[in-house]
Chains A and B, each alone.
Chain A
Amino acid sequence: MRPFAYTKVETLAEAVDALVAAGPQARLLAGGTTLYDLMKLEIETPPAVVDVHRVADLAGFDTSGDRELVFGAGARMADVAEDGRLRRDYPALSESLWRAASQQLRNMATLGGNLLQRTRCPYFRGGEPFACNKRRPGSGCAAREGLDRSHALFGGSEACIAVYPGDWATALVAFDAEVDVLGPGGARSLPLVRLHREPGDTPQHEHTLEPGEIILRVRVPATPAGRGSAYLKIRDRESYAFAVVSAAVALTLDGDGRVDECRIAVGGVATRPWRVPAAEQALRGNEITEASARAAGEAAFADARPGRDNAFKIELGTRTVADAVRLAGSRAVA
């Protein structure tokens, strides 16, 4: 770890001021479970860190609203995952949190930090000697001709095929979440789907926040599809692992048992939170059957671009979406 300046702030205004003063290389610190980790690996070497974990305006969350659910960026994963209303009315959101990381990490980690967690690509985290455009722009991408079992089928580029690993954002993108941010230029909102960038030629740039901007909260429009939702996560072991493939599905059924509202996103397979409208379209208007669920899964992966070791995720992902559709469907009926 390199030495760095550390500032602890109590208010949002102080946070913005401190960030601006510290310059564009400075980092916000929330739970530290991503940032400190990367600093220890010397993959991130910020000269200054602004600790916002005590900022009261970021804390808390409210799942009782009729119009929207509000999640403060400083709310802890564990607290939100355990919220009774969320578990009942939006099981996919709760599941995406409690199936992530470990209890100890969820006790520390915040929802805002979670959104901006970075890829687990081993060549990125491994440091020298691996070529990595994200870590060292222009050095190449070791994964492209290497061990790419954990790499993306969607949204990759010549320069980078690293998976965005977060479960929470994968679920959120299915729910059309909005993000409120505050920066030196004031406050603004953006759809969550626009928060993360695809790697393109500049994989080192992962999100669209301006220097000095802070995520304040995430807002999720209330929807009856929340009840009929599921987040299914397939891992290399039963707990405490990132997704090999995951699927977030939320739906409602009409009076005839046909899918009405339908939202589907996939995780572990894309360079950013990945909504799959083609799968939604395939399912909408149909009853949930083995065949229609499978068809939704196939539609979700129709455009997949596999590498050397990850082609199996097309079939696995197809089945995962199909299972999640059936699970969501059973919850929508119940």
Chain B
Amino acid sequence: MSREPVDTRRVDAREKVTGAALYATDLHPDQVAHAVLATATVGRGRITELDVSAAAAVPGVLLVLTHLDRLDLQSPGFIMGGGYGVQSMQPLLDDRIAYRGQAIAMVVAETLTAATEAANLVHAAYEQEPFAVTLDSPGVERLSQPAAIPLPFLADLDVGDAESAYAAAALRVDATYDQPAQHQNPMELIGATVFWRGDTLVVHEGTQNAGAIRNGLARQLGIDAANVEVISPYTGGGFGQKNSLQIHIAPLALAARRLGRPVKLVVSRTQLFHHTSFRPASRHRIRLGADEHGRMLAAIHEVEHQTSRHDLFPLMYTEITSRMYGVRDFRGRQTFARMDTQSPGFMRAPFEQPAAFAFESAVDELAYAAHRDPLEFRLANDTTVDPISGEPFSSRHLAQCLRRGAKRFGWSARQQRPASMRADDGSLVGWGVAVGAYPGSIVPSAAHLVAGADGRIRVEVDGHEMGQGIRSTIAILVAENLGVGVHRIDIVIGDTRVAAQHLTAGSWGTASTLGAVQAALRALREQLGADATGPVDLAAAVRATGRDHVEVRAETLGPGQTEQDIERARRGHPALSGPEFPGYSTFSWIAHFVEVRVEPSTCRIRVPRVVSVADCGRVASPVTAASQVRGGIVWGIGASLREAGEVDPRYGGFLNASLEEYPVPVNADIGTLDVDFIGEPDLRFSPVGVKGLGEVSMVGVAAAVANAVFHATGVRHRRLPIRIEDVLAGASPPA
């Protein structure tokens, strides 16, 4: 049997480019009505008066839902607190306002125009209460994480005696770094199309976690999860914002039931900044100690980050900073700062991006204190064992990432002294390096394969396509395994009708999903009586069984996981294992090399080139993998030079709640991105040899940029984003 060549391009590229791929709110079911939210204008307080008469009088308005309707809804619970929701606080249930921008009414009308007009006519009066919205605001409540949530995986890390080792160190760095709140802003807005088919609730929504939506809605509405179908074949970017049940879905379901019609809601870009999760602001004090030769001896990472009054979004910053180098004595302290916002949550490399910015900036400061080249300093402090567990890493090719990246970048031509390199046009040139890590996790996963006598194969599996390319990755695995063409493979993901569809995030999607598909392929080969490897003539093999199709199922677990974890996953809860597994721990690694040019007069920072080399195990899909890393670098450039949620403490919420005022990078901001992979399979971690990639790609970019700016100018910037005025303030006065 001959093997059909494997087409490694994105399998859904044509649909996406031509618009044939239908996203959740592209659907226009018959009779669909449109919902729009009205939102609170005060930072915190109570609604004393709510007048919807003008809204209700707008022609075409069908329904206005507010807390006065005594909606029969339970809290979904917070996704990180044993529940399913983006936050535990479900708006529209009582008169309390927890943050500016909170939904106070949902207006449903025949047209989007009527609903929008009416939503603006909802009138509320409030009794206001004092509120806090920044880390520096009075009224912020601070809680030590281990005291607030005494769970082992959130405990403070204490290895050795970091305080004493630090105090005794010959070289020391003690610096504080600030990460602002940031907003994911996926291209596809948050939204859903919802309707009832008899007693069954059907939800179309772009999500990373159809399972949480299903189970969370069951809890909120008091119905059986079997009566909820969530369908999400495509998600237009999630980046963590779409990892749980959004707060508008349950009210939409009630509206659809009352009206007996489908209802659709698209949350506007402006409302998105207050409607759903965001990256919390965080502050990191890093203390590093080294001996006189520059051997790192002690690291202390104390961090606080913002969370809401109603939920504790956990801090997991020290997980990677404790593993980047062979530091014997490590101490981590993580503290909540509760304030009056919606609950923050995961945004691409949620903890690792800010942690690496702080830590890798401090490492650069230490390298300079030791008069050592920052690349060579990092290599000299590399480790092969996990300093926290004392056990080996399942794979760590970080030194190789650094060496290969340095070569591609031409690092050897670098001059150590800051502000010593210039371009032909007079710009200051800075070269910076930083590394990143991201914990490897595996979640339970279920796959169902149906091979037909027509030679086609259908793959139904846990997983969500958020644009990261998981559909292509699955197709390539199946195509390579069976020797069938990608065009003969049908893939169903993000659909609770075929699998539990728990959360796809944390870069565990590929390793977990592919593991299940691989196990199912093995089962299929057995069923078909095929050899364990080599191409299979599917049509013939199926026909030989005398049936028109053959189906198999497989469920896979992460190391150390049990049936219980599968059960958790079925109920829509995240059930992850890692990064510490029996006998080893797993991380993905990356090294970034960045060149910046700082215009001498107006101090604009440009990033003409970046070289990044990743260790993500086997590269499961070359096209989408490189694309993931390029996207991660662009995110890192945005994080370091552009993006911040601006807060006016007098008003609460975020001020720059639009893509005009919240600047993300544009094409003109991005220069050459050169991406490479080590490509060594990690078979200890995963039977398919892959580790995560989507998140690690961003980790360390901001530090590499900041380190490059330091190298260009001689001034260290410890607060993101680094803007013109920051560089200008440190620039030498004109001659």
A positions within 8 Å CB-CB of B: 1-3, 42, 120, 122-123, 125-126, 128-130, 142, 145-147, 234, 236-241, 244, 290, 294, 312, 315-316, 319-320, 322-323
Contacts and interface: CB of A to CB of B under 8 A. Distances in A.
A323 B602 contact: yes
A146 B650 contact: yes
A125 to B, nearest CB: 8
A62 to B, nearest CB: 32
A237 B663 contact: yes
Given A238-B668, A312-B729, A323-B602, A122 B117 contact: no
Contact of B728 (A123, A126, A312): A312
A333 B704 CA distance: 41
B728 A316 contact: yes
Contacts of A126: 655, 657
B122 to A, nearest CB: 11
B577 interface: no
A3 B114 CA distance: 9
A310 B147 CA distance: 42
B116 interface: yes
A315 B732 CA distance: 12
Contacts of A147: 646, 648, 655
Given A315-B728, A319-B601, A239 B723 contact: no
Given A237-B642, A244-B724, 10 more contacts: A126-B657, A234-B724, A236-B642, A237-B666, A238-B666, A239-B667, A239-B668, A240-B668, A319-B734, A320-B601
Contacts of B117: 1-3
Across chains A and B, which 6 residue pairs bring their CB atoms closest together, nearest first? Answer: A238-B668, A312-B725, A129-B41, A239-B668, A319-B601, A128-B41
A293 to B, nearest CB: 10
Contacts of B8: none
Interface string B566-585: 00000000000000000000
Interface string B587-617: 0000000000000011110100000000000
Contact of A290 (B642, B656, B660, B735): B735
A1 B724 contact: no
B139 interface: no
Contacts of B646: 122, 147
A199 B503 CA distance: 53
A84 B646 CA distance: 41
B140 to A, nearest CB: 20
Nearest to B726: A312
B415 interface: no
Contacts of A323: 601-602
A323 B426 CA distance: 13
Contacts of B292: none
Nearest to A37: B660
A1 B735 CA distance: 54
Interface residue SS majority, chain A: loop
B452 to A, nearest CB: 46
A294 B735 CA distance: 10
B651 A130 contact: yes
A290 B655 CA distance: 39
Contacts of A123: 655
* Most A C-beta atoms less than 10 A away, residue of B658, B661, B669: B661
B42 interface: yes
A148 to B, nearest CB: 10
B113 A319 contact: no
Given A1-B117, A126-B655, A129-B41, A312 B666 contact: no
A320 B601 CA distance: 8
Given A122-B655, A129-B651, A294-B734, A237 B665 contact: yes
Contacts of A234: 602, 604, 724
A322 B734 CA distance: 11
Nearest to A320: B602
Contacts of A294: 734
B120 interface: yes
Contacts of A1: 113, 116-117
Q: Which of B651, B657, B658 counts the most chain A CB atoms within 10 A?
A: B651
Nearest to B650: A146
B42 A129 contact: yes
7 contacts: A129-B41, A142-B651, A146-B648, A236-B642, A236-B723, A237-B663, A312-B728
Given A142-B648, A147-B648, A294-B734, A237 B724 contact: no
Nearest to A311: B725
Contacts of A236: 642, 663, 723-724
Interface in B538-552: none
